[in-house]
Amino acid sequence: MCRKLLMVLLLTASIASVCAQEFRCGVTINYQKLQSTTQQYETTDLKIFETMKQTIEDFINTRRWTNLEFEQNEKLDCSISIVLSERTSATDFRGQLSIQLRRPVYNSNYTTGLFNYLENNDFYFSFNETQQLEFDPNTYFDNLSSTLAYYCYIMLGMYFDSFGPNGGEPFYGMASTIVQTAAPSGMKGWASKDGQKARYWFMENHTNSTYELIHSIYYYYYRLGLDMMTKDQPQARQNIIQSLRYLQQLHKKRANLLSVIQFIDVNMSEIVSIFTPAPQDEQKEVYNIIKDVSPINVTKLKDWNIK
């Protein structure tokens, strides 16, 4: 993996549809809400949802997103769910998109969360079951392919950030290109004005040098923290605390930063589990950081004996 982290600096925009190396992604299409709308479907229409699922899985899993080679056990383990809420025509849909990315922890059978993101219920897209999804970073084909490609590069960026300092930089750059290409389409989610959870903002958080500490947060928490737990737990906890200090510094630069909220949402339960048996001085520092960064989560630390 270290060799690959060096190679990532040589990343090119190689995105030809060849045998996949990077992702092992499962897709779920939930169409139950359509039963309660005026856009009800016939039994024969169920085929389009099955085709939608398979087409999206093929788009992600059979496309080469980098010029790196991944072993089978190195593929990114992720899942995507689309809950359809409206069908305005035979090919036009509205729904809610969620993405999860999991990461193996070194020398263990444990898998940790890296990305768990739920978009607002305003994901509009078109899908024609007779056509394959196309993608080119410099060409906008449709909202579905651009959105899926965007999240693929975001996930690659976070994954490589968690293995090496600034390892994900080239992938965030690709996500930025996709945002710039898709924004003129007028589809909601690509522009900064489209709300706090717009795709623009998550990309911006990871490419703006003002927030460069986010990359160190991933590296210290995952590579120097969780990956070291079986080797040196006290040092691993100190590295995780350092990642939280960086998180606090980032919060002071800009409160309610989307990347900070996402990190806390994904890792809060794990942080509680790691530090519940830890020394009180460590608990106290973690408690004070969480109280500052995410006060709503302080209740999850209520069993700690903080004085």
**pLDDT tens per residue, range 214-269:** 999 999 999 999 999 999 999 999 999 999 999 999 999 999 999 999 999 999 99
Q: Judge if 73 and 102 occupy the same domain.
A: yes
Q: Judge if 190 and 300 occupy the same domain.
A: no
Instruction: Provide the domain count of the chain.
Output: 2
For the chain, give the percent of residues with pLDDT over 90: 80
Identify the domain boundary among 182, 207, 232: 207
Q: Judge if 166 and 260 occupy the same domain.
A: no
Domain residue limits at 44: 2-207
Question: What are 163-186's pLDDT values in tens digits?
Answer: 999 999 999 999 999 999 999 999
Identify the domain boundary among 172, 207, 242: 207
Q: Judge if 70 and 36 occupy the same domain.
A: yes
pTM for the structure as a whole: 0.90
Q: Report the distance separating Cα 183 and Cα 278, nearest Å.
A: 47
Q: Judge if 182 and 262 occupy the same domain.
A: no
Q: Judge if 45 and 164 occupy the same domain.
A: yes
Q: Judge if 297 and 172 occupy the same domain.
A: no
Identify the domain boundary among 183, 207, 231: 207
List the Cα angle 121/115/172 in 5-degree steps.
95
Q: Judge if 195 and 71 occupy the same domain.
A: yes
Q: Report the greatest alpha carbon distance in the chain.
A: 64
Q: Judge if 225 and 169 occupy the same domain.
A: no
Secondary structure E strands in 43-109: 76-87, 92-104
Q: Judge if 30 and 172 occupy the same domain.
A: yes
